[in-house]
Amino acid sequence: MTVAVPVPDAALPFIVPAEGIPAGVDDARPHRTEAAAITGAGPSAQLWISLATIAGFLVLWWAVTASGAVAPLFLPSPEIVVARLGRLATEGFVDGTLAQHLGASLLRVFAALGAALVLGIPAGFAIGSSPIGRGVLDPVIEFLRPIPPLAYLPLIIIWAGIGEAAKVLVIALAMLPPIVIATAAGMEGVDRNRLNIARALGASRVQLFRHVVFPSTLPSILTGTRIALGAGWSTLVASELVAATRGVGFMIQSAANFLATDVVIAGILVIAAVAFAFECGVRVIERLFVGWSRRG
């Protein structure tokens, strides 16, 4: 299995530090995307363009609703959605405030992430380090990877019931493949010379792993974690389809039953904002712990 792990790098504008490349770095790689190099748009220009695009969408949304061309049932105006967000936070919807729904969802995603990391990282190392590990685990991961979580959700409900465990399990299963694949790919990429030098300095097998293999693989693991979080959020809503009483996904679906479009849109925005915050969080962790990997 040599599946290239997609790295959605150019996706977010804030990857690039607004202050630019630190001074005194003689061989820092250019951080600009190729497209940016062609158009001559620097990192801060990129950020402004992104902000302007977002503002443009908001204006368009507002204009369409204000003109009365679309009924509020289909698309409520931004003001209505914002007002609804406020009431969701205070009064709540279907038996829970926004914080309670969000808390339930976050708990599921975090529990699933924990499980996926605990199982996925060792599995990835096993695939990357031994033909036996690869032989056993590769088919499992390759089987799991292309199946949409919704397809195995019914099976998991039959096995694990309709409680929290089933929900966490579905999300964890969706998160597992990217973490395993990224870990294995990272391990295969460990520089031979770095390993040999450590062996020449007297490293035992355990020390090789701890002081060379693991740090070398960490950037890859974090990339896998970012991708896994994306998969986790998309699976969350599906997992809350069944027998949930709390959760942002549950809130959105209940709202849809009542045709409360403003709640649906507010819920979507909340999920987007939280997912974005997670993405930022992982990037901060990357910057702190594996900043070296971007410098070459």
Partner 1 sequence: MKLNVFRLAIGFAQPRGGETAVLEDINLRIPAGEFVVILGASGCGKSTLLNVIAGFLKPSSGEVWVDDRPVSGPGPDRGVVLQTDALYPWLDARENVGFGLKLRGISRQERRERADEALRLVGLEDKGDHAIWQLSGGQRQRVSLARALIADPDILLMDEPLGALDALTREQMQDLVLEVWARTGKTVLFVTHGLDEALYLGSRLIVLGGQPGRVLLDKPLSFGRRAVEERIGGRIKSTPAFAAAREELHDLFFAGAER
From the list 2, 202, 205, 288, which residue makes contact with partner 1 (rule: CB under 8 A)? 202
Question: Nearer Cβ to partner 1, position 69 or 201?
Answer: 201
Q: How far, CA to CA in Å, does 255 sit from each of 38, 73, 259, 260?
A: 46, 12, 6, 5
Question: Nearer Cβ to partner 1, position 13 or 215?
Answer: 215
Q: Is 31 a residue that touches partner 1 (CB under 8 A)? A: no
| Helical spans, DSSP H, in the chain | 34-39, 43-66, 78-90, 98-129, 131-144, 149-160, 164-188, 192-200, 205-208, 214-239, 248-257, 261-290
CB of 198 to partner 1, least distance (A): 7
CB of 295 to partner 1, least distance (A): 4
Q: Is 55 a residue that touches partner 1 (CB under 8 A)? A: no
**DSSP string over 30-81:** P-S-HHHHHHT--HHHHHHHHHHHHHHHHHHHHHHHHTTSS-TTTS--HHHH
The answer to whether 177 touches 219, Cβ cutoff 8 Å, is no
Distance, CA of 167 to CA of 9 (rounded, Å):
30
Q: What φ, ψ does residue 25 adopt, rounded to 5°?
A: -95, 110
Q: Is 21 a residue that touches partner 1 (CB under 8 A)? A: no
Q: Kindly give, in sequence order, each residue whose CB lies less than 8 Å from that of residue 191, ignoring residues fewer than 6 positions away.
A: 216
Question: Nearer Cβ to partner 1, position 207 or 234?
Answer: 207
**Which of the residues 209 through 228 are near partner 1 (CB under 8 A)?**
211-212, 215, 218
Q: Is 199 a residue that touches partner 1 (CB under 8 A)? A: yes
CB of 199 to partner 1, least distance (A): 4
CB of 14 to partner 1, least distance (A): 22
CB of 217 to partner 1, least distance (A): 11
From 73-81, 83-91, 194-202, 243-251, span contacting partner 1 (CB under 8 A): 194-202
Question: Nearer Cβ to partner 1, position 67 or 205?
Answer: 205
CB of 249 to partner 1, least distance (A): 38
Distance, CA of 127 to CA of 178 (rounded, Å):
13
The answer to whether 44 touches 18, Cβ cutoff 8 Å, is yes
Binding footprint of partner 1 on the chain (CB under 8 A): 24-28, 191, 193-194, 196-204, 207, 211-212, 215, 218, 290, 292-293, 295-296
